[in-house]
Amino acid sequence: MEKRKVDVAVIGAGTAGMSAYRAARKHTDNIVLIEGGAYGTTCASVGCMPSKLLIAAADSAHQSRKAPMFGVHPGDIRIDGKEVMARVRRERDRFVSFVIEAVEGFPEAHRLRGQARFLSPHRIVVGEKVEVEAARVVIATGSRPNVPGFLKDAKDRLVVNDDIFEWDDLPGSVAVFGPGIIGLELGQALSRLGVRVRMFGVSGSLGPLQEETIRHYALKTFNEEFPLDTNAVVRSVE
């Protein structure tokens, strides 16, 4: 097994990991950036960027429907789900290519590929091939979805938000569990693109809203577009 000794090891080459790498490199060139999956960052591949592409399509449809109130009559609105998703994936892939180009611009000696496993607080095995001893370690591995047990009965119909951007077409209907920021923005976008949406939450929470009057008004406003129950009790999924 190859052994390396470095000043800083950064685990995870996403947005946070790349930022940490650049910051550490101002102080030392004895550094490694470790990535166990594909380069591209959550933001560019399955997060902020593709979600905003989907929202842009939804906003376009929504504004077209509102146009008659201004005396503008654009005619019948037809949403082609395949065209919508093809553009989302095409532009998403373009954004990801910029990120990959940036990472691959780092010195090859600084990049290690493989899953990282700690042997001790300062010793890491990468891909079972390289052992790294690091004076400092930055963990920037991000997160992954945790699917509640009762939802697993949905089987092959179950998707997490990351999966949406691999769709070839828009579905006829979607049940969204979790009216957090991601659930709200994707659920509303899908609804405005013609997908039948119903959203479920627990304990009355709605996104980041804490003030009762504003939360009540927001709930009323969302329900004008699709059914949203923030106090749902889901006993089973069939």
Beta bridge partners of 125: 117, 131
* Boundaries of every domain in the chain: 1-144, 171-229
Q: What is the per-residue pLDDT for 76?
A: 81
Please write the tens of the pLDDT for every residue from 1-44: 899 999 999 999 999 999 999 999 999 999 999 999 999 999 99
Q: What is the per-residue pLDDT for 145?
A: 85
Q: What is the per-residue pLDDT for 12?
A: 97
Least confident of 46-50, 109-113, 121-125, 225-229: 46-50
**What is the average per-residue pLDDT within 189-199?**
97
Residue 41 CA from chain centroid, whole number: 9
pLDDT at 107 over 90: yes
- What DSSP assignment string belongs to 56-99? HHHHHHHHHHHGGGGT---------HHHHHHHHHHHHHHHHHHH
Q: What is the per-residue pLDDT for 8?
A: 98
Q: What is the per-residue pLDDT for 132?
A: 97
Nearby residues of 4 by Cβ (< 8 Å), 6 or more positions away: 32, 130, 131, 132, 133
**What is the average per-residue pLDDT within 147-159?**
91
Fold identical between 1-144 and 171-229? yes
**Length of the chain (residues):** 238
pLDDT at 148 over 90: no
Q: Is the pTM of this model over 0.85?
A: yes
pLDDT at 146 over 90: no
CATH 3.60.70.12 fits 171-229, yes or no: no
DSSP-derived 3-state class of residue 163: helix
Please write the tens of the pLDDT for every residue from 210-223: 999 999 999 999 99
Using a pLDDT cut of 70, give the percent of the chain over it. 100
Looking at residue 41, what DSSP letter applies? -
- Please tell me which residue, 128 or 110, carries the higher pLDDT value: 110
Q: Measured on CA atoms in the order 78, 82, 85, 89, is the torsion positive or negative? A: negative
For domain 1-144, give the CATH superfamily: FAD/NAD(P)-binding domain (3.50.50.60)
